[in-house]
A and B are shown apart, each in its own frame.
Chain A
Amino acid sequence: MIINSRFFNRSELMGFIALAAVLFVILPLTLDVFRLNLVAKYLTYAFVALGLVLCWGYGGILSLGQGVFFGLGGYCMAMFLKLEASSVENTKIQSTPGIPDFMDWNQITSLPLFWQPFHSLTFTILAIILVPGLFALIIGTAMFKRRVGGTYFAIITQAVAAILTILIVGQQGYTGGINGMTDLRTLKGWDIRPDHAKVILYFVEVVLLFACIGIAQFIRLTKLGRILVAMREQEDRVRFSGYSVANFKIFAFCMAAVFAAIGGAMFALNVGFMSPSFVGIVPSIEMVIYTAVGGRMSIFGAVWGAILVNFAKTSLSESFPQLWLFGLGALFIAVVLAFPNGLSGLWADYVQPRIDRLFASRKPKPGWNDNSVADGAPAE
């Protein structure tokens, strides 16, 4: 793979413009608020998929616990919103007003200590970034410093996802249990439920997504990104060259965790609730498939993967609930067997060359350094 020193090469610039046009202009103009809110929900998974491109596609570390970070981010946000929705006036029918309703149902009479700081929005925003980041740091340090990777890492992250789900479901009084945190209403007094708020939140989310795309692209283009790729291909050689392989892996894993957490926080805002069904093993593996379908090496591909798979899921499971699981299963198998580089790989292998030939016929002598084809094609 040739990495260009420009921030975007030509094909990436086209990809960027296409994505920006669709997300900023075309979708908001053509969809009603309900559908736009659905897209916002899909896009929260795009954050996760973006993180997985860095950590799985580039770093070669497959994490099956991204739902954990998505959930941690989402729950931090939801705790703040829930506290705001549980003001004394709103909850005066409870036996102890001023605490979230599910605590009241579970005979908890005062706000638990770890809930207290979530009265502050600043703390919440810091927590959304820091809690998953630190958690990933601990797991990553413990695993990568001991050179545990690949399969073992995947299984351990999966176990972590299982633990967190059981914990959330089991500790009803503190977490809302299986129902999660519902009935989230306002953010600093601003109602998040009406249509215009949904539209604003959608745009906030898209801006954040593009910020994350920028960060991911920056990481990819700097020396760091090259080391990640080198590490995935020949880990020992990178280690012998004097790089601390573990630290780079930890960094990629933490970035992926933070991205996932931002997605989770936006999920809580856009959808208005958070529940353990977005934390466990099944959602975590589905998040991996978004990345795989989009293309594990492609930043834009991950966003498209998240949108398209979720769109297919919604439309198929509405009309043919039986077909959906067959379809999703077949998708997993097809991605692995037939197109391991996902949609972006198909694009780079089949569509891009045709477009290039089209341009080449108009421009009789393409520069020898015109490497857009090689750029798009992920190295395997």
Chain B
Amino acid sequence: MFGDYSIGDLGSIFVMQGFAGLILFSVYVLMALGLAIIFGQMGVINMAHGEFMILGAYVTWMTSNFFQAYLPSLFSGYFFLAMILAFLASGALGMLVEWGLIRHLYKRPLDTLLATWGLSLMLQQAYRSVFGAREVGVELPQWMLGSLHVTESIEVPINGVFVMCLTVLITISVAYVLYMSRWGRQVRAVVQNRIMAGAVGINTEKVDRYTFGLGCGIAGVAGSAFTMIGSTGPTSGQLYIVDTFLVVVFGGAASLLGTIASAFSISQTQSTLEFFMSGSMAKVLTLLAVVGILMLRPQGLFALKVRK
């Protein structure tokens, strides 16, 4: 399969596919970060994670429409406001859901799966009723269009670079919040032992609510970033949910580093394979490899050594 290409061509192919893989990697990391908090840390199987992302995407779409109609002079910067709004909207919805649904189910993780699946169905229908069944796309500001020409045969789309920078920024902030801040320590105390954390004076209910909200908020930002790459419809969220869960599980649920490593390996495998075979077969092979490795190493790549 390499026979038809010269060495130079192959080099460019791998660089281009590698870059496409990097964009996919950013996408996976953005999707998985929120879930790594909600599922990895809190143990809640949030099947509605995709729908929180879609909420962020719709918020971005609405913001962009608003700027186009009322503030066209500021249109080039709408995206930054849209991301903040997306974070707030998804985060607020997340806290509402935690209060109404999730807090009753911390002792029954498998039931959170059913309940949040129900939630995802209702959200999908709500999006369909409010925004219509058709997919919507966001108009990008001028500076995000086009691509950078690195060499003769290698070019890199600017929106991809932007998504990658965004991913790095968000990942660093999440890592800081979880591992450095006082609040992050409280979060980890609560998820490890809710009762004991409560006994030493942590307001566990509040910590739970804000943690869930943070995870959902990051999902919203991810959805916001997605609008730069593709269009959004009411059921788009469902497409991502298996991939997202696999990324988190493959990396080792409680490890942020693992999430990043697994997102990287999965995305690179998939985008490299995609060049040599149909997209669906590449996907099948990647998923098969992930499932196979998970069967050999069920705790994921980076398992925390804990006594159960």
**A interface residues (Cβ-Cβ under 8 A, vs B):** 62, 64, 139, 142-143, 146-148, 150-152, 154-156, 158-160, 162-163, 166-167, 169-170, 281-282, 285, 288-289, 292, 322, 325-326, 328-333, 335-337, 340
By the criterion CB–CB under 8 Å, are B105 and A155 in contact? no
| A-chain residues with CB within 8 Å of residue B128 when the two chains form the complex | 322, 325
By the criterion CB–CB under 8 Å, are A166 and B283 in contact? yes
Convert B173-209 into 0s and 1s, putting 1 for each residue whose CB lies closer than 8 angstroms to a CB of A: 0000000000000000000000000000000000000
By the criterion CB–CB under 8 Å, are B129 and A329 in contact? no
* B residues contacting the other copy or chain, number (CB 8 A): 43
Q: How far is the CA of A288 from the CA of B110 in the complex (A)?
A: 12
By the criterion CB–CB under 8 Å, are A155 and B118 in contact? no
By the criterion CB–CB under 8 Å, are B113 and A154 in contact? yes
Nearest Cβ on chain A to B245's Cβ, whole angstroms? 5
By the criterion CB–CB under 8 Å, are A151 and B109 in contact? yes
Convert B43-64 into 0s and 1s, putting 1 for each residue whose CB lies closer than 8 angstroms to a CB of A: 1010100000000000000000
Known: A146-B298, A166-B283. A155 touches B238 (CB 8 A): no
Nearest Cβ on chain A to B148's Cβ, whole angstroms? 33
Is B287 interfacial (CB-CB < 8 Å)?
A: yes
Closest-by-CB residue of A relative to B285 is: A163
Q: Which of B110, B112, B246 contacts A159 (CB 8 A)?
A: B246
Nearest Cβ on chain A to B189's Cβ, whole angstroms? 22
Q: Which of A167, A328, A329 has the most CB of B within 10 A?
A: A329
Q: How far is the CA of A292 from the CA of B117 in the complex (A)?
A: 13
Q: How far is the CA of A143 from the CA of B122 in the complex (A)?
A: 33
**B interface residues (Cβ-Cβ under 8 A, vs A):** 39, 43, 45, 47, 101, 104-105, 108-115, 117-122, 124-125, 128-129, 238, 241-242, 245-246, 249, 278, 280-281, 283-284, 287-288, 290-291, 294-295, 298
| A-chain residues with CB within 8 Å of residue B110 when the two chains form the complex | 62, 150-151, 154
Nearest Cβ on chain A to B117's Cβ, whole angstroms? 6
Nearest Cβ on chain A to B138's Cβ, whole angstroms? 25
Closest-by-CB residue of A relative to B286 is: A163
Q: How far is the CA of A142 from the CA of B297 in the complex (A)?
A: 10
Known: A143-B295, A166-B280, A337-B101. A158 touches B125 (CB 8 A): no
Q: How far is the CA of A150 from the CA of B111 in the complex (A)?
A: 11
| B-chain residues with CB within 8 Å of residue A160 when the two chains form the complex | 291
| A-chain residues with CB within 8 Å of residue B124 when the two chains form the complex | 325
By the criterion CB–CB under 8 Å, are B111 and A163 in contact? no
By the criterion CB–CB under 8 Å, are B45 and A336 in contact? no
By the criterion CB–CB under 8 Å, are A142 and B125 in contact? no
Q: Which of B111, B113, B298 contacts A148 (CB 8 A)?
A: B298
Q: How far is the CA of A151 from the CA of B299 in the complex (A)?
A: 12
| A-chain residues with CB within 8 Å of residue B246 when the two chains form the complex | 155, 159
By the criterion CB–CB under 8 Å, are A142 and B295 in contact? yes
